[in-house]
Structure 1
Amino acid sequence: MRKKLPIGIDGFEKIRTNDFYYVDKTLFIKELLESWGEVNLFTRPRRFGKTLNMSMLKCFFEIGGDPALFAGLKIARERALCEKYMGKFPVISISLKSVDGLDFQAALTALKTVIGDEAGRFHFLRSSDKLTGDEKQAYAQLTEVGSSQGGIYTMTDKVAAASLKTLSKLLSKHYGQKVILLIDEYDVPLDKAFQAGYYHEMVNLIRNLLGNALKTNDSLYFAVLTGCLRISKESIFTGLNNLKVHTISDVRYDEFFGFTNADVDEMLTFYGLSSYRDVIRDWYDGYRFGDTEVYCPWDVINYCDELLADPKTMPKNYWANTSGNGLVLRLLEKADQTTKDEVEELLNGGKITKKVSQELTYRDIEDSIENVWSVLYATGYLTGRHLDQADADIFRLWIPNGEIRKLFYELVEDWFRETTWSDTERINRFCAAFPAGDIDTLQNMLGDYLWDSISVRDTAVRRNMKENFYHGMLLGLLRSQGSWLVKSNAETGEGYSDISVQTPERIGIVIEIKYADDGNLEKACDEALVQIEEKKYAEGLKRRGMKKIMKYGIAFWEKSCMVVTA
């Protein structure tokens, strides 16, 4: 029976006990043990296996874990290491992903729930003969809930801030062994707080929580934290001198987050999908972590799953649709002409040089557009490498793959539509030129819009993708007219015209768009008009009662355009 693909499953034990396909990353444990610091922070984009790796660490180290989970995996060959470390430690494992709320009190309650639930796993501490009465009471403060408060944990704010340190001390004393602390998605509460307006309060809370647990905790063996961003020490790691940070630009651990070429080849062979290797590489590969080229695991797994159900399935955006894409929109909203040119260079397959700050606070993102570039790199919207070994902050950046390029296209379209619709007088004048047959106004104004926007000229991009870009831009302009019926790729004759319009005055407009690869705009316009006639695109509009039909051929080449009418 074929193994299931683990879509949305990030628990190591569940994957290993329910016959899901697993890409073996267990040698991460060996490398961590051979080079660990007391506090280890790994920053990677979302959906690159951070949570699954943290779950794996918990299953490996925790007292009472099941060694059979690792049978047949690479780490099992390291017998001496397994004998020394497997199942030998108390483990505290929390994720701060759910610490969210409309205000600080709601987020604080969510944090107390996360900590209280984890403390509740160690219910044996209530009756441990290794703990004093005061220590048992300290444990009770972490787990007590108030019936009058709907089951909410009643721990005070002070108890919550010290909770991880307290739980470490109690577990260490009970077992006679220091504790391993795992904190997944450590920066999510700060991101959510920044968006909701209580950032300062959340910074203080996280600073106290982590400071107590990581800075002066004699019960700590080591800690591992994961997140998307490396938050500056001044923000939440004040005075923490035992922190080892591993970002996406670091060589160490580079193959343990994301899928390598070897991982993907092995998976495709296993499922009989090797013929899709090139399309998967084009769409989902291209990230660089250290010296390793990696794929986004979420994309590869989802696409393979759909291919097994329907071999004709086309690649699509999976990763880009799992979260908000506000960072790219923020970049576009702040963009001056230089930034627009840089975005255009990226969309056209080029690279840009930027100073990347590896250490930020969420407030820093708003300070300058340069910081937005840094966050786009850290969160996976861009990839890159050091440009100059003498200056570790200078990077060459580029869009990693087809999925992210398509995302950028779509967000540029959204941004362009919003900015153009805001100038109603201008856009109404442009649209009115179509039923009037005023090709001079159309061509001049469309040219102005092109200069205001971001064009696609990349020779590596297929012609139909270039046409789709301009198609989307023009469609967005026309749809500003609320009383017009504007259809895209609608069947109006024997085929599908690019754009058709019906106005309340019963004027029908057919528009065919061409991209002039050779720069010959006149030839491309002529081809568009010939296609309108040969495919009889106007016939459908006549059948719908349009009294007058306007036919337009519009050609684009980079930031140039030509408009002709039949």
Structure 2
Amino acid sequence: MGIYLNPGNEDFKRITRSNYIDKTGLIDIINSKIGTTNNLVCVSRPRRFGKSYAAQMLCAYYDCTCDSRELFSKYQISQLDDKREYLNAFNVIYLDITSFISNLNSKGSSINSIVNDIQNAVIKDIAAVTDVDYEDSFTGILLKYVGQSGKKLIFIIDEWDAIIREAKDNSEIQTAYLNLLRSLFKNGNFTSRAVAVAYMTGILPIKKDGTESAVSDFDEFTIINPGRFAEYTGFNEDDIEKVCQKSKTNISEDELREWYDGYSFDGVNPIYNPYSVMQAIEMGRLESYWRKTTAAETLFTYINMDFKGLQEDIARLIAGEYIHVDINSFNNDVENFNSKDDVLTLLIHLGYLTYDYNTQMVRIPNKEVRTEFESLLKNESRSKLADLVKKSENLFKETLEENGNAVAKVIDNIRCSEYAPTFYNNEQALRYVIKFAYICCIDSYQKVEELPSGKGVADVVYLPKNDSNLPAMIVELKWNKTESAALQQIKEKNYPAILKDYYGDILLVGVNYDEITKEHSCVIERLSRK
């Protein structure tokens, strides 16, 4: 048993001793690819979506140096693969690319040697079990080992794209690494003779070489289009039910859904972030567990890039909007961006946005991710949304003080900023600006649009969160009428009745825009419940 060659099943045993949710059905998909021309698979997922668990599971199943029959006997794969002809039947080469990078960093060494380090590490393991001709090429050594052992190789490469991300400005190292992958998986003298299956997993799809994949023989299953791997991307509703049944906490399925759900694919909806769910159960607390990774720092980096329309789109997303994204020009790396759509596509792959393949629209998926976006608004020194946030905070202050004229002036300023719609010609456009105007309220209020009442529909209602002392707000909008008419409609339609179960004060906010004067006007009244 080696480190990289046939690492055994101990890692997966450790996983199953915890609160393991059965995802062994993924093995059945990989089994179906053995002995076919579709035996090269790249599955990309966001950070903390169980990629390493899946890789270690596959190691345990295929490694010929261990006996995993009992280990898998109680899981789904034991019913799906009743013949078990592939169980512990292959030589496995398991490469965790991040571990190579970490070793170099710990020694203070350059990443430039990483391709040689990978090859030498595997050769060292092979040399421990058989004679090696060190004059031979890497693939030559592997091919001879396959011949001597009588068993083909299964390659399992975890965090395959770590070099693409870490050496993002070093094209020489990236090229050397991609050439290594080509030598293994796009080599007529090696691949078909030595490779039973290759399973690569990482955050990014395979980097493009021009318009094509740099290692083109792989079938790719991404967070955007996961295909048969969709149900193994994260936790589904059945998994969440099992987690809650086993849990000793009081966290409910509804609470887990609000915080960690939101990712969806064709035929599999919803999908939860598995790492965050398990952390919440373990810690007994609902919060953003991405803050304990480098993910939040990454978000700051990308949303502050200077692409036309990017800041507006980020503000729209934070305000709860859905936006259209063209995913086709993305280069599958973290360095080469040509437009805001490329940046937003990267955020999909990183897990910050969820993408609907049919509508080609994205949104912020859940409360956990929303807290990361909201943190941008609180960190004015680092966010390009700082100016909008300052205006919004001023507007909210004037609203609480019931200063309608001041509120109207702030709305005028926001209307003239980059966040306003290009065509400002109807009440819908006014509502769009109002959502930006109150963007500072997203962490303290729940925003509901077109909330039905007994006699009509209120345009926008803001409900305080967490039993705060803030007043609720009912905002009614008019176009080419008067702010008084907006306020009068709130009263005539009895919109406050919507909030009959809310016992705090309610601010009635009437806003009008006059196309002739090009100005907004506002009137505010407080309805006291005390």
Q: With structure 2 as the length reference, what TM-score do the two structures score?
A: 0.68
2:341 is matched with 370
Structure 2 residue 113 is the aligned partner of structure 1 residue 137: no
1:299 is matched with 276
2:252 is matched with 276
1:285 is matched with 261
2:376 is matched with 411
**Is the 2:304–2:384 contact (alpha carbons within 8 Å) kept by the matching residues of 1?**
no
Measure the CA separation in 1 of the matches of 2:473 and 2:303. 30
**Is the 2:511–2:523 contact (alpha carbons within 8 Å) kept by the matching residues of 1?**
no
2:429 is matched with none
**Is the 2:230–2:265 contact (alpha carbons within 8 Å) kept by the matching residues of 1?**
yes
Per-residue CA deviation, residues 324-358 of structure 1 (Å, 9 max, x unaligned), is 4434542344254x444433332233311221128
Matches within 5 A, 1:413-492: 413-414=378-379, 418-419=383-384, 457=435, 465-466=443-444
2:113 is matched with 109
Matches within 5 A, 1:507-546: 516-518=473-475
Structure 2 residue 96 is the aligned partner of structure 1 residue 95: yes
2:229 is matched with 253
Measure the CA separation in 1 of the matches of 2:122 and 2:134. 17
Query: Structure 1's 560 and 31: CA in aligned 2 closer, same or farther, altered over 3 A?
Result: farther
> How far does residue 320 in structure 1 lie from its aligned partner after superposition?
4.6
How many residue pairs match? The answer is: 426
Structure 2 residue 338 is the aligned partner of structure 1 residue 360: no
SS in 1 for 2:302: helix
Matches within 5 A, 1:40-79: 40-67=41-68, 68-79=70-81
Per-residue CA deviation, residues 239-267 of structure 1 (Å, 9 max, x unaligned), is 75532111122331111121111011101
The structure with the largest helix share of the pair is: 1
Query: Structure 1's 364 and 261: CA in aligned 2 closer, same or farther, altered over 3 A?
Result: same
**Is the 2:353–2:363 contact (alpha carbons within 8 Å) kept by the matching residues of 1?**
yes
- Superposed CA RMSD in Å reads 4.4
Query: Structure 1's 305 and 560: CA in aligned 2 closer, same or farther, altered over 3 A?
Result: farther
> How far does residue 466 in structure 1 lie from its aligned partner after superposition?
4.2
Query: Structure 1's 245 and 448: CA in aligned 2 closer, same or farther, altered over 3 A?
Result: same
List gaps (5 residues or longer) in structure 2.
1-9, 420-432, 448-467, 478-482, 488-506, 513-519, 526-530
**Is the 1:347–1:456 contact (alpha carbons within 8 Å) kept by the matching residues of 2?**
no
1:400 is matched with 365
SS in 2 for 1:63: coil
SS in 2 for 1:85: coil
> How far does residue 110 in structure 1 lie from its aligned partner after superposition?
4.3
SS in 2 for 1:66: coil
Measure the CA separation in 1 of the matches of 2:350 and 2:66. 33
Structure 2 residue 312 is the aligned partner of structure 1 residue 323: no
Per-residue CA deviation, residues 209-239 of structure 1 (Å, 9 max, x unaligned), is 1011111123111211111111344269877
> How far does residue 377 in structure 1 lie from its aligned partner after superposition?
1.4
Per-residue CA deviation, residues 150-184 of structure 1 (Å, 9 max, x unaligned), is xxxxxxxxxxxx64x34532431231121111111
1:33 is matched with 31
Measure the CA separation in 1 of the matches of 2:434 and 2:140. 57
> How far does residue 273 in structure 1 lie from its aligned partner after superposition?
4.5
Per-residue CA deviation, residues 292-337 of structure 1 (Å, 9 max, x unaligned), is 1210011001000111xxxxx3x2111254124434542344254x
Measure the CA separation in 1 of the matches of 2:329 and 2:53. 24
**Is the 2:115–2:176 contact (alpha carbons within 8 Å) kept by the matching residues of 1?**
no
> How far does residue 441 in structure 1 lie from its aligned partner after superposition?
12
Identity of aligned residues (%): 21
**Is the 2:181–2:215 contact (alpha carbons within 8 Å) kept by the matching residues of 1?**
no
**Is the 1:317–1:403 contact (alpha carbons within 8 Å) kept by the matching residues of 2?**
yes
Query: Structure 1's 449 and 301: CA in aligned 2 closer, same or farther, altered over 3 A?
Result: farther
Query: Structure 1's 166 and 515: CA in aligned 2 closer, same or farther, altered over 3 A?
Result: farther
> How far does residue 124 in structure 1 lie from its aligned partner after superposition?
3.3
Measure the CA separation in 1 of the matches of 2:199 and 2:521. 53
Measure the CA separation in 1 of the matches of 2:299 and 2:234. 22
**Is the 2:330–2:337 contact (alpha carbons within 8 Å) kept by the matching residues of 1?**
no
Query: Structure 1's 190 and 441: CA in aligned 2 closer, same or farther, altered over 3 A?
Result: farther
- Shifted more, 252-261 versus 226-235: the winner is 226-235
SS in 2 for 1:387: coil
**Is the 2:408–2:521 contact (alpha carbons within 8 Å) kept by the matching residues of 1?**
no
Measure the CA separation in 1 of the matches of 2:301 and 2:155. 36
Report the residue type matching 2:354 in the other structure: T
1:228 is matched with 203
2:194 is matched with 219
**Is the 2:259–2:367 contact (alpha carbons within 8 Å) kept by the matching residues of 1?**
yes
